[in-house]
Every structure is written in C-alpha cells, then in structure tokens.
Chains A and B, each alone.
Chain A
Amino acid sequence: MSITGLEVEVERDDGFETEEMTLNMGPQHPSTHGVLRFVIKADGEVMRKATPDVGYLHRSIEKIAEKVGYASFMPYTDRVDYVAAMPCNQGWAMVTERLAGIEVPRRGEFCRVIATELNRIASHLLAVGSMAMDIGAYTPFTHALRERELINELLQELCGSRLTFNYMRIGGCAWDLPPRFGEKAIEYLDHLEPIIDEYNALISFNKIYVERLASVAVISREEAIDYNLVGPNLRGSGVKYDVRRDEPYSVYPEIDFDIPVGTGEAGIVGDSYDRYMVRIREMKECCKIIRQCLSKMEPGPVIAKVPRNLKPKPGEAYVRVESARGDMGWYCVSDGSTAPYRLKIRTGSFAAMSAIEHVSRGLMIADLVALIASLDIVAPEVDR
C-alpha cells in the first residue's frame, strides 16, 4: 500500500478480490451539522468518492420573501443560518437599505457591529466545540456550550431571544443597548479571553487532535478560490481576504483588527488544522472589535425613519456581509412593490459542500467527518 499525498492506492498481491462498498451516511447522524447525506463509495476504510445529497432542509425561504414583503421577512433571515443569525439580519437590512436609499444612524451601526461580533464568537465556539466532538472528544463541547450560554444571556438581554434574534430592522436596530450592557459585555470578554487559552491547552495543542487534523483534506489556494470558498475556509488556505476589511461596510473602516490566516503550522497550508486555528484566533479578534465599538459609541438614535409600507424603486442590488461562515451574498431584485421580486442568498456553506466531493477522494471515512466539521457546514445555509 502506498500513500502519495492525497490519494491512497491499494494494491493487493495476496490474491484476495476486493469490491467497492456503497455506504449511506445520513440524513440522520450524530454529527451536529444538520441533515446532510453522503453516498460513500469506499474500498474498505478509504473513500473513493463521497457524493453529497442535500435538500433535506429546503424551506423555500427565497420564495417566501416574494410573498411576505421587506419588513416582515426579517425573522426568516434568522433561519437562513441559525447559528450566526445576526449577520444574516444585517445582510437583508443592508440590501434593502441599498435599494431604498436609507442611511442608518451611527449608533445603529455600532449596535449592529457589537451584536454581530458577539454572535460570531458564539458561532465559532459551536464550530470548534462540535469539531472536537466529531473527532471524539466530548469535554471541549461542554466547555464551548458553557461559554455560549453566557453569550446567550447577553443577547437575550439585548433582544429577548437566545437563538433567532430578529434584532435588526430595515434602517437600524430594533432597540438600543439596555442599561449597563457595555459593562456586562466587557465583564464577559475579560472572562472569555483566558478561557480561549485554556481551551487551546485542552484541545488545540493536544497531540492526538493535531495528528487527526494536520495535513488532512488539504485545499490549495487556487482550489479554494475556484470553488468560491469564503471566510475561515478561504483564510485557512492562505488567502488574506475579509469583507470587513477589503470591501468594508458599516463602521468597520474605523476599527482596527487583524485577519488571521492559515500558515501550515502543523502540516500543509490549507489543511483542517489551519481552518480550525483560524476560527480560534478570530474569536480573539472579535473581542478586540467589541471593546473598540463600546468605547467609540456616542448617544443618538438607532433607527432611521422608514416609511411604513416600504416600496423601494425598481432596481437590483448585490451586497456582501462577512458572516461567521464567510461572505454571504444577498442579491435582491425589486419591482417597486412591497415585496421583493426575487431574492437570492449565496452562502459559504453551499460552496463548501460542493467542494467536498473533490476534496474527499482518498480520505478515510473518519476523516470525512473531520472535513465537514473543519469546513463548518450548517445545513440551513446549504438548503435555505
């Protein structure tokens, strides 16, 4: 048996005949990434091909947009990516504001950024926790859930809900920050930053964990761009690109933060370990952003005056926001009525899912689980 990079060639000289097995993985499976199904053609433990089968969570959100109208659509955007719902709210609000020519007040922009970055931390916590659980370590998952519970408390105080927030409105945010929210947020960030180091000591630099992920499922820079991978998946392959810094929107131009990039520290650039470490380091950058926002905010209104029956002029707009899973494209066509004519949401997990068939050749079945977890795929983003 010889191993050459990604491909595993199996030659047998002992006279045994082998056959390819066809296995079915999903749509119900103990991984936490949602209802995804793979049809795996395997030669023993090594996969020849893993074909994804999606659509088990297709809730026709894009068609519903054409029925309910601009303002009423906000709760549906939470369900597009329920793990990181605030950036989805922001994407929808931004595309409608671009079509209708509405400007968001400055304090409203700061509230949006604080909510988005808190949600990004929560999403990355779930991503790294469930990645550890898929590899087989159950304890880091409970640690991550504990920290997520504290963020849920903060966001619950902000907007009333733990998971599907519906906090932003077209023109700004629904409410201002509650009293003493800034102090509680800073208290939480002071608590979180040492916990990230503790988490690293527990799992990130653990020898077994590193060997499971290093040099597994390498995605090169050219492949990542060709498949339109975005966000931490793209940055893990060495491309230093972040929509918040390179095509900035909202108040991100005034905030100073770094973009962590995969460097192949444990193996090859673009392997699963790089994508994992990019998420860990991004959590620390989010803490920096929130602190700067809280210190730069000034009193003022949080929402602009928007007409009750919003009817943007006919036209179209394409807006990209940096969600936890990468840049999300919102393409909206308006025909002058109260509901959009067509809405298309292009998500990062859709592209990542389409890349799996190619990247998984030659991997073992257990590595497929690590690959899905390292690409941070959630089913609602794929199916919408």
Chain B
Amino acid sequence: MNSAEIVDRLRARFGDKIGDFDDKAGDPFVYVQPDAIDEVCGHLKNDEALAFDALSNLSGVDHPKTSTIQVVYHLYSYRHRHMIVLKVSANREDPVIRTVAGVWRAANWHEREVFDLLGVRFEGHPDLRRLLMPEDWVGHPLRKDFVEPEEYHGIKTSRESPIHGIKTSHESPTK
C-alpha cells in the first residue's frame, strides 16, 4: 500500500485529527494532532491491512523560526513491507505530546531521548527522565538556542589556549 492510500484510510476513520499530507519533498509524510497520536498509532498497528508492527524511528526536530518542535515517526510493517511517516507539531514554549510507548515498547527510550535533548514532555510515559545527559544537567542540548555551560562540576568545558601564559622578550620584567 502506498502512503496516499494509507492516509485516505486514516482520514476516513479519524477525520480532522489528520492534517496535511505532503508528498513532494522526499519521503511523503502526514501531520497528526498531538493529542490523537496514540490512537492513530494504535489503529495503525492493530489494523490487519495496515499492520505497522515496528516503530523504525522516532526523532525530534527543533524549528525556532515557526516556534514549533516536530516529532517525526517512521513506521514500518514487516508483514506488508510498507512504510509511513507521521509528524506531530508541538508548541516550542511548552511541548506536550501523547506517548506511544503503550503501542510499541521501542518508543520508550526514543521518547526519553527526545525529552532529554529537546525538552518535549510525553504525556502518559511510564518513566520520563533523562537518558543520555547526566541527571543534573541543565538545558536541552539539541535545541538551536542552546548555550554550552562554562563548567560542569568544576571541570571547564573548553581548553584554554597556552597564549595566556607566554612571556615574550619585549615585556618588562616588573609586569
């Protein structure tokens, strides 16, 4: 089944929860509302004709220009060998999206990583805490406006250039 047919089936069932379908820029994708993503994914997995039994990828993309954070889902079906791409857009100030960890257990860690690096909160996630960064890290590093801290637990995060310690011959000795 190709993406257009899958989107038609989803629109027939979920109506206005399914947004625009874009098939021009690379892989075709369709937008889904953030509060309906878990129902849509549950239907995609359990329906016999669609049978998307594997979550191939879940990643977050930061778009400060439109003030959104998008979470992109790549779903794959081992039975029918087709793939679909879903996108969910959330407000950048306070991004909240329903979790799909109840649909595919693979989503658990992917969502933790998106929370850690981009700050998206997943409602209903069983264990949402930082995954890759230390627990006491401040900030979400993959955001475009992230500023690196000067030091962490006493360790400076940059290497000082030795030019500051060099005394040249034309400097006076009393300096």
A and B touch in their complex, CB below 8 angstroms:
yes
A205 interfacial by beta-carbon distance below 8 Å:
no
9-residue interface stretch from A78-86, A258-266, A312-320, A366-374: A312-320
Q: Are A342 and B56 in touch, CB under 8 angstroms?
A: no
What are the residues of chain B within 8 A of A316 when measuring CB–CB? 25-27
Q: Is the CB of A346 within 8 A of B59?
A: yes
Task: Check B134 for interface membership: any CB of A closer than 8 A.
Answer: yes
Report yes or no: A315 in contact with B141, Cβ–Cβ below 8 A: no
Within 8 A of A (CB), among B117-144: 130-134, 141-142
Kindly state whether residue B4 has any CB partner on chain A within 8 Å: no
Q: Could you tell me the distance between the alpha carbons of A317 and B132 in the complex, rounded to whole angstroms?
A: 25
Complex contact B27–A318 (CB within 8 A)? yes
Interface assignment of B13: CB less than 8 Å from any CB of chain A: no
Question: Which A residues are CB-close (under 8 A) to B72?
Answer: 331
Q: Is the CB of B57 within 8 A of A225?
A: no
| CA gap between A353 and B113 in the complex, in Å | 13
Say if the beta carbon of B85 comes within 8 Å of chain A. yes
Q: Among B62, B81, B132, find the residue whose CB has the most chain A CB atoms closer than 10 A.
A: B132
Determine the chain A residues whose CB is within 8 A of the CB of B6 once the complex forms: none
Q: Are B108 and A55 in contact (CB under 8 A)?
A: no
* Complex partner residue of A318 from B54, B74, B105, B109, CB under 8 angstroms: B74
Cβ–Cβ contact A241 & B78, under 8 A: yes
Let me know if B10 is at the binding interface, CB within 8 A: no
With a cutoff of 8 Å between Cβ atoms, the chain B residues found around residue A247 in the complex are: 81
> Cβ of A286 < 8 Å from any Cβ of B?
no
Contacts of B85 in A (CB 8 A): 318
A354 touches B108 (CB 8 A): yes
Distance (whole angstroms) from the CB of B69 to the closest CB of chain A: 11
The interface on chain B, measured as residues whose beta carbon lies within 8 A of the other chain's beta carbons, has a size of 29
In the complex, are the beta carbons of A341 and B133 less than 8 A apart? no
Known: A315-B26, A329-B74. A63 touches B142 (CB 8 A): yes
Size of the A side of the interface (Cβ < 8 Å), in residues, is 36
Which one of B27, B74, B106 has the greatest number of beta carbons of chain A within 10 Å?
B106
Interchain CA distance A331-B83 in the complex, whole Å? 14
Q: Which residues of A are found within 8 Å of B62, using beta-carbon distances?
A: 342
Complex interface residues of chain B between 89 and 124 (CB less than 8 A to chain A): 104-106, 108-110
A355 to B141, CA, bound (A): 26
Q: Are B109 and A354 in contact (CB under 8 A)?
A: yes
In the complex, what distance in Å separates the CA atom of A318 from the CA atom of B104?
20
The reply on B86 being an interface residue by CB < 8 A is no
- Check A239 against B131 for contact (C-beta < 8 Å): no
Residues of chain B from 40 to 88 with CB closer than 8 A to chain A in the complex: 53-57, 59, 61-62, 72, 74, 78, 81, 85
Q: Inside 8 A of B132's CB, which chain A residues have their CB?
A: 54-55, 58, 383
Mark interface residues in A317-338 (1 if CB within 8 Å of B CB, else 0).
1101000000001010100000
> At the interface, yes or no: A281 with Cβ under 8 Å from chain B?
no
- Chain A residue numbers with a CB within 8 Å of B25 are 314-316
Question: Complex: how many Å from CA A98 to CA B26?
Answer: 9
Cβ proximity bits A188-227 to B, threshold 8 Å, 1 near / 0 not:
0000000000000000000000000000000000000111
Q: Is A358 an interface residue (CB 8 A)?
A: yes
**Interface residues, chain A, with chain B CB atoms under 8 Å away:** 54-55, 58, 60, 62-63, 98-99, 225-228, 239, 241, 246-247, 314-318, 320, 329, 331, 333, 341-342, 344, 346, 350-351, 353-355, 358, 383
The 3 closest A-B pairs by CB, nearest first: A228-B106, A344-B59, A55-B132
Can you list 19 pairs linking A and B with CB atoms under 8 Å apart?
A54-B131, A58-B132, A60-B141, A62-B142, A63-B141, A226-B104, A226-B106, A247-B81, A314-B25, A317-B26, A318-B27, A329-B74, A333-B61, A342-B59, A346-B59, A351-B106, A354-B109, A355-B105, A358-B105
**14 further A-B pairs in the complex, CB-CB below 8 A; given A99-B26, A315-B26, A342-B59:** A54-B131, A54-B132, A62-B142, A228-B55, A228-B106, A246-B81, A247-B81, A315-B25, A316-B27, A317-B26, A318-B85, A346-B56, A346-B110, A351-B109
